[in-house]
A and B are shown apart, each in its own frame.
Chain A
Amino acid sequence: MGNKQTTFTDEQLEAYQDCTFFTRKEVLRLHGRYRELAPHLVPLDFTNNPDIKVPLTLIVTMPELKENPFRDRIVETFSEDGHGNLSFNDFVDMFSALCETSPRELKTIYAFKIYDFNRDNFICKEDLRKTLNKLTKGELTPEEVTLVCDKAVEEADLDGDSKLSFSDFENMISKAPDFLSNFHIRI
């Protein structure tokens, strides 16, 4: 109490603190970053919850996302309309889910959604192929790509439908030693 900021009401800030892993200061800082992306579009005053959405093309210019091969998928996953236009709520939600204190289960759920390119709740071989090509920037030959996709599905698929459902994915990721440390964006 006693702050001079007029961006959010205290109640809004409390609500954000309860719904994300951020502190009050961090939420205000995030608002600054959000506004930076489109200063003409995003108002300074959020007390009456304006319905503003920043488009995908502006969000992926952020330095934290710029070099990430999956940046488009990340932003699409957290957007409400599925096309990557983020409201401030979605923006905060995105960074909260990917922050360091976010738990493994939550990150697993969102990782699955990110890698599921066609959004059918399964990671099929086509999704894997796309993931691999983004990871290696097309340096692998098509035979190598096919081999890797086959091997990955063979390893993780438990129910034998030659695609990964969420439980397959979760089972595989739960034992991965690097997952938590790599699947983390610092803002």
Chain B
Amino acid sequence: ERHRAKRRDGDREKKKRRKGRRRRASRAGEREDEKRAKNYQESEGRERDEEEQAQIKTGKTAKTKKNIKNEKTRKVEQEEGEAEERNAKGKKKHGSAKKEEKDEDGGKCLRPESLSPEELEKLKEAVDERKKLIQGLRGKPWSMKKKLVTLRESQEFVEKYEGALGKGKGRKLYAYKVMMAKKWMKFQRDFENFKTACIPWEMKIKEIESHFGSSVASYFIFLRWMYGINMILFGLTFGLVMVPEALMGRPYGSIPRKTVPRAEEASAMDFAVLWDFGGYAQYSVLFYGYYNNQRAIGWLKFRMPLSYFLVGVGTVAYSYMVVIRTMARNANESGVGDDNSFNFSWKTFTSWDYLIGNPETADNKFASITTSFKEAILEEQESRKDDNIHLTRFLRVLANFLVLCCLAGSGYLIYFVVRRSQKFALDGLDTHTWWERNEVNMVMSLLGMFCPMLFDVISALENYHPRVALQWQLGRIFALFLGNLYTFIIALMDEINLKREEEKIVKFNITTWEASLYNSTVSENSTGPPITIQPADVPRGPCWETMVGQEFVRLIISDTMTTYITLLIGDFLRAVLVRFLNYCWCWDLEAGFPSYSEFDVSGNVLGLIFNQGMIWMGAFYAPCLPALNVLRLHVSMYLQCWAVMCCNVPQERVFKASGSNNFYMAMLLVILFLSTLPAIYTIVTIPPSFDCGPFSGKKRMFDVIQETLESDFPAWFSKVFSSASNPGLVLPFILLMVLAIYYLQSTSKSYKEANVELKKKLQTSLLQLLMCPCQAKRGEQEEEQTSSAEGTDGPRGGQKSCITDCRATKEQQRVTTRPRR
């Protein structure tokens, strides 16, 4: 209502102004015309007084913030000065003394027609500054009382003069804009609250955080983030590939590629076969081979092959985008990346979590802070020791040599095993034991489990600082996994080539088979009905894409099983044994040899990263992989949360691999790149199988894009595209991008240098300030800084006298120079 009242007043004032100046003008007019020159210095003095008082009183601070020394502002202050006399009347109606000055004042509003354009401009600036002040009031370090008073004053000022400046509806527009801005902020805040409420497992992670600290919790946060990504990938593959084919494509059994061959029908439902993803599992939407190459299916005319291709590309593109965006965000937050220069300061000032409200958690936090301090102190002391360089160097070289031998050995072992499994496949899978059938996967998983332990033992030779040792360990495990994966892929390539050879033979056989069928029917009756052959009887080509998909799925399943079994045996069984055998054992099992296990953060993170790499590799050939991964991550989350709380103890020495999360993100990016390479290679070079999958019949898989451009888009579109793929255009474009990258890199380098320079400047200027604190300019700057630093009006002791001295001299200078104008 107050706003409305003010608006009414404003309107009334304008009308009065227009009608007759003399009605109200008596005192105001006289003042303005006669005393303009005389009150020059008086108002100056009043202004100055007010400026000084502003530091002490909670009053006209807002006004003094502006340095507008024009006639208008002085007039305003004059009028307010006299309006202060009329306090008594105002106090009853309104809440505070200062506010009613303005209300009474409204009658003496300045007439905009009497001002020149420059003054109008300055008034506009003043109003804008007030508006900005109101917007930024929340972030000011003042006491609430001061903020409330400033708010009221500024709002009144803005309303009074904004209406005077613009047309009548300007005020309404402003109010409308403010209301919309507020609504928008509220909406944003509600949305943020909703988003945070949607995040799963928040309480679980908080519990783990309070018991084990942030490094263990960071693994679970990473797991949750991966889960989010996989959900999106799952959504894409499920919604755009699997569901359309299942709903709108031809049903099971209608065409040869969708049916289990007659020979396999008997065993198609066996659990063993299904577990191996053969039988009915193989001939379903889970794998590449099921999809029909019909260009458009269903009443929606859904372009299945196009969708399959684009989803494959889209999953990779989305993953790149998300990883790079997260890396950029982490880089921004952590500032200069891995900065150790403020270790102790940060531990002192930022280690306590103000959110803790639970006494047990608080105790844990106190303990962990103490431990963290103790180990930082230890680190500090250890860094002052020196040791025998030559011996350590020799040992380190020896250790690296041993590690290389291990890596080579594991690579050869995998290759050997894959070749052996190919031999087994030729013999027929039924003649071999379970181990021989699953040899490849088991060997890979076991290598992944035991080699890191071996590396750990070898690294005892090296005698590095724990953080450096951890980085070496991670690097070696990374190399191990990568080597294994690529050996696996090379072996897979051999199999693909074999299958393609087989395909040629099958193609030849099919033509002869068809011919023989045709001949037999023609011999019976020349005008007979067309032959109906059961799809299950049609001879089938080997579908190398489905084979690849199956291999990846089997690998991931065995990897998962290995992880879970290691968890149960390595952590849970060990904890049970330690706990219960301790009563009847010679030495203290809990403190001594086995004891409870610690949660291996880096090993688990690496495992997660590589698992994701395998998903990215295989997702094109087995659309079911993201779904499987979502399930796996979901189960992992619960299982590992339980295992950590139940069987693990907090680490005694906590060393993170790096200060920021970007270390793991960088690894993820590398894996993403390396795992999409093989898929891209196969898409680009190898022709698709002739009788299975959505691209059957094409020469290359990406021909589907060409086909879509030609048939579905208007003619000019394909012309534009074909001219865009002209090397004459592409090469300059690539050149342009390279130049842009170079430019950005050089600007970022120059920013870093500028940063260092500014730091140095800061140090030298502070030193100078200490030498001579009464330099007027520097004194003012310092005053501004510290006055923003301390919002409350505490006593400032010695510094204040110095400042007022400086100000006094400055004031004198100003006053003496004034009359010259």
Contacts and interface: CB of A to CB of B under 8 A. Distances in A.
Which of A21, A92, A148, A186 has the most B CB atoms < 10 Å from its CB? Answer: A148
A161 to B, nearest CB: 7
Given A109-B791, A144-B374, A144-B377, A173 B354 contact: no
B350 A152 contact: no
Given A67-B356, A128-B348, 15 more contacts: A11-B2, A23-B189, A109-B788, A121-B794, A147-B377, A155-B341, A155-B344, A158-B762, A160-B767, A166-B786, A177-B335, A179-B350, A182-B351, A182-B355, A185-B355
A67 B357 contact: yes
Size range of the interface on B? 35 or more
Given A119-B794, A148-B348, A166-B789, A23 B186 contact: yes
Nearest to A179: B350
Contacts of B125: none
B182 A183 contact: no
A109 B141 contact: yes
Contact of B377 (A19, A148, A160, A178): A148
Given A17-B182, A109-B789, A70 B341 contact: no
Contacts of A70: 352
A52 interface: no
A68 B350 contact: no
B343 to A, nearest CB: 7
A21 to B, nearest CB: 6
Given A19-B137, A140-B374, A179-B350, A80 B767 contact: no
Interface of B: 2, 95, 134, 137-141, 143-145, 147-148, 151-152, 182, 186, 189, 333-336, 339, 341-359, 361-362, 366, 369-370, 373-374, 376-377, 380, 659-660, 762-763, 766-767, 769-770, 785-786, 788-792, 794, 796-797
A121 B353 contact: no
Contacts of A158: 762-763, 766
B449 to A, nearest CB: 33
Nearest to B145: A89
B350 A176 contact: yes
Contacts of A185: 354-355
Which 9 A-B residue pairings sit nearest by Cβ, starting from the closest? A89-B144, A67-B362, A159-B766, A151-B344, A93-B144, A19-B147, A166-B789, A152-B344, A175-B335
Nearest to A110: B141
Contacts, number: 179
A106 B182 contact: no
A186 B660 CA distance: 25
A61 interface: no
Interface in A156-178: 156, 158-161, 166-167, 169, 171-178
Nearest to A71: B354
A96 interface: yes
Contacts of B141: 97, 106, 109-110
A176 B2 CA distance: 46
Which of B144, B182, B344, B374 has the most A CB atoms < 10 Å from its CB? Answer: B144
A82 B495 CA distance: 79
Given A175-B342, A182-B351, A136 B369 contact: yes
11 contacts: A67-B362, A89-B143, A136-B369, A137-B366, A160-B770, A169-B349, A172-B345, A172-B346, A173-B350, A177-B335, A179-B346
Contacts of B145: 80, 89
Nearest to B785: A167
The secondary-structure label for the interface of chain A is: helix
A174 B792 CA distance: 23
A117 interface: no
Interface string A98-125: 1001110110011111010001110000
Contact of A155 (B186, B333, B342, B350): B342
Given A18-B151, A184-B355, A176 B349 contact: yes
B769 to A, nearest CB: 8
Nearest to A173: B349
Given A159-B767, A175-B339, A106 B151 contact: no
A66 B355 CA distance: 11
Contacts of A93: 143-144, 147
B346 A176 contact: yes
Contact of B349 (A101, A131, A161): A131
A56 interface: no
A98 B354 contact: yes
B373 A186 contact: no
Contacts of B139: 102-103, 105-106
Contacts of B95: 49
A20 interface: yes
A135 interface: yes
A90 B791 CA distance: 13
B369 A135 contact: yes
Nearest to B141: A109
A175 B349 contact: no
Contact of B790 (A68, A102, A111, A121): A121
B763 A159 contact: yes
A67 B350 contact: no
Contacts of B797: 120
Contact of B373 (A101, A112, A148, A167): A148
A115 B349 contact: yes
Contacts of B186: 23
A148 B352 CA distance: 16
A36 interface: no
B349 A111 contact: yes
B554 to A, nearest CB: 41
A63 interface: yes
A77 to B, nearest CB: 8
A38 interface: no
A20 B767 contact: no
A144 B143 contact: no
A69 interface: yes
A45 interface: no
A128 to B, nearest CB: 7
Which of B134, B342, B762, B763 has the most A CB atoms < 10 Å from its CB? Answer: B342
A157 B221 CA distance: 35
A98 to B, nearest CB: 7
A2 to B, nearest CB: 14
B586 to A, nearest CB: 34
A139 interface: yes
A126 interface: no
Contacts of B355: 182, 184-186
A63 B346 contact: no
A59 B266 CA distance: 76
